Amino acid sequence: NMSATTLKGQPLDKAVLDAMLRRRMFYTPSFEIYGGVGGLYDFGPPGCSLLTNITDIWRKHFILEEDMLEVDCTVLTPHEVLKTSGHVDKFADWMCKDPKNGEILRADHFVEAVLEARLKGDKEARGLKVEEKDDPKKKKKKAKSEAIKLDDALVKEYEEVLARIDNYGGPELGELIKKYDLRNPETGELPSDPVSFNLMFQTTIGPSSNSPGYLRPETAQGQFLNFAKLLEFNQGGMPFASASIGKSYRNEISPRAGLLRVREFLMAEIEHFVDPQGGKKHHRFPDVADVELVFLDRETQLAGKTETRKVAVGEAVKSGLVDNETLGYFLARIHLFLAKIGVDQSKLRFRQHMQNEMAHYAVDCWDAELLTSSGWIECVGCADRSAYDLNVHAKKTGAALVVRSRLDEPITIEEWEVDVEKKKFGPLFKKDAKTVEAALMASSQEDREKLAKELKDNGKATITVEGYGDGKAEIPSDAIRIEFRKRVEHTREFTPNVIEPSFGIGRILYALIEHNFWTRGSEGTDEARGVLSFPPPVAPTKVLIVPLSSNQSFKPHLKKLSQRLRSIGISSRVDDSSASIGKRYSRNDELGTPLGITIDFQTLQDNTFTLRDRDSTSQVRAEEDKIVEAIKSLVDSSKTWADIQKELPAFEGQEVDVAVREK
């Protein structure tokens, strides 16, 4: 099931595609003349245009269409923020080192690769058919297999280890390496014990060495920290969403899969803030309820299967397959976005995360996966993160990251309340006063009751404060007051939950290239010419303008036409090189340019042009105004090429003939 296909169902020859992408400078290894750096790529002109067009469509589809609040936060992030979010402690992989050649191995990938190679060798020894396993999450280096039969019990053990591979920590991976004598195929050596390697790039902000910081691993944290300001900007209205397009960074241990696993990447993330009460409804859900999505749910995966089913999202939410309307709404919107930019619908599925795959606080999580020559690749994640992030930052800083909404009926509340006597409290804890106060304010009702008793009995109370001294703060009874009080509330205060659709733009871009790639035979030769059939709004350049020859009399037409197209916002390129028209069109088929205009001697007489369709190579001919009108309607997708063919007369001149005729 790994054999990838082109847009037309041909087997996809990755080497041919890669050579073409390189030749046309879609992207290229960064710093190549210095030998390159793993996991870093530069985008050349067509890749850059693709990036711009995809993010532009994204911005219209999500931000403008839904009145989201766009923010642009810094990549540099101080230590404390990512300590609170959990990234400093948990955003890490386990790595080992080969003692002989110094190769650094990602421990889980290494164990997986060696065991899989052994199982494959066992199958070969048993004369069974070996099926390539598709691996949606990791692009690991494959170990070579030898046909050696294993004990039946050992096969079972290996299979169990592989099924649980995501659950092992470093020490357990180290034990597995020793227990099964897993040696690096490159050297025959046992790798070192796994050590934890944090995936964030670390740096220092400012000249003082005690201000550590990181390059953000996601854009989300900046959006959470601005929550209170965004709520105010939105004039208190709920629900609302913020959104951000920007680079994030992950210091991958050994990136190997081209654009699919890189160290610097463009993300587009939405944080939709919603009231956790009332079932997380979405007022535009009815608009998408009929959109059918291809689901691969948790239960199916638990049963070791990958069968998908197509269900309307309205039905999926109703049956509980998708947790709530807001999550379902975004899954449908993600689907519509991917369809709009030209993703092959037959190569798209929504895979639900397994329980152990999600963060402990997540309610539900789905990945939009796209099928590529590297298997199913997570390109968009869509998670319900509950109130986790706002809660941890509020707790740490004391900031009120909450919504206050007016109640229709006031309610009476009786509970333990804490008052801080600032004048005593401040001098007592000095620079830590805010931290200690935040811990007090975050204390539970049970804790407060106990503290009140302590204060009464001992004249002081001790509270646990993370990050303060030895973790305990002793507070005398004249610095705080804790009382059980009754009050009437006219407003409700709550911490919103967050639904987070998160897009890896580079991965989407790469999958889009594979989905739109195909080859066609060149007439009279065996050569297969590459074509990238991007939809016009996504295509890097919309129109290629080719003069029949370098004859000077064509120049004014070239200039006039490209200016006219530019004035209506349509990008064009002139190719007045000496190559044949066929060659010039070929080059632009590889660049994915959907339309081509030829200027020939007839143009000089009657101001008509031929217009060529990239996908069919068929042509029409008409005078300037009609050609420009046709281009406009094709680029804004209001018409198809078939429509244009009905409206304008066909032009039958062969591409190759045209080039020859003049000579």
Gyration radius of the chain over CA positions: 30
Smallest separation (angstroms) from a copy of itself to the CB of 397: 5
Interaction between residue 438 and a copy of itself (CB under 8 A): no
Secondary structure of 279-319 as H, E, C letters? CCCCCCHHHHCCCEEEEECHHHHHCCCCCCEEEEHHHHHHC
Candidate ranges 201-209, 285-293, 412-420, 446-454; the one touching a copy of itself (CB under 8 A): 201-209
Interaction between residue 278 and a copy of itself (CB under 8 A): no
CA angle 277/279/283 to nearest 5° reads 105
Interaction between residue 44 and a copy of itself (CB under 8 A): yes
Interaction between residue 91 and a copy of itself (CB under 8 A): no
C-alpha to C-alpha distance for 292 and 436, rounded to whole angstroms: 51
**Rule CB under 8 A: which of 104-123 touch a copy of itself?**
104
Interaction between residue 408 and a copy of itself (CB under 8 A): no
Smallest separation (angstroms) from a copy of itself to the CB of 253: 5
**Rule CB under 8 A: which of 248-277 touch a copy of itself?**
249, 251-254, 263-264
Single out the residue of 244, 195, 240 nearest to residue 218, CA to CA.
244
Interaction between residue 75 and a copy of itself (CB under 8 A): yes
| Size of the residue set binding a copy of itself (CB under 8 A) | 80
Give 47 or 375: the residue with its C-beta nearer to a copy of itself. 47
**Rule CB under 8 A: which of 4-33 touch a copy of itself?**
24-25, 28, 30-33
Smallest separation (angstroms) from a copy of itself to the CB of 493: 17
Q: List phi, psi (to 5°) of 143.
A: -90, 150
Smallest separation (angstroms) from a copy of itself to the CB of 405: 15
Long-range contacts of 122-125 (CB under 8 A, 24+ apart): 122/148, 122/149, 122/150, 122/155, 125/149
Smallest separation (angstroms) from a copy of itself to the CB of 137: 20
Interaction between residue 49 and a copy of itself (CB under 8 A): yes
**Rule CB under 8 A: which of 214-243 touch a copy of itself?**
215, 222, 225-226, 228-230, 232-233, 235
Could you say which of 18, 19, 42, 466 contacts a copy of itself (CB under 8 A)?
A: 42
Smallest separation (angstroms) from a copy of itself to the CB of 9: 31
Please report how many Cα atoms fall inside a 13 Å half-sphere around the Cα of residue 51, on the Cβ side: 21
CB-based burial, 506-545: b 16+ in 10 Å, e otherwise: bbbbbbbbbbbbbbbeeeeeeeebbbbbbbbbbbbbbbbb
Cα dist from 409 to 168, 238, 485, 489, 492, whole Å: 51, 19, 20, 9, 10
Give me the residues paired with residue 55 across strands: none
**Rule CB under 8 A: which of 131-170 touch a copy of itself?**
none
Candidate ranges 78-86, 321-329, 372-380, 483-491; the one touching a copy of itself (CB under 8 A): 78-86
Smallest separation (angstroms) from a copy of itself to the CB of 43: 4
Interaction between residue 637 and a copy of itself (CB under 8 A): no
Q: List phi, psi (to 5°) of 362.
A: -75, 145
Q: Are 106 and 39 in contact (CB under 8 A)?
A: no
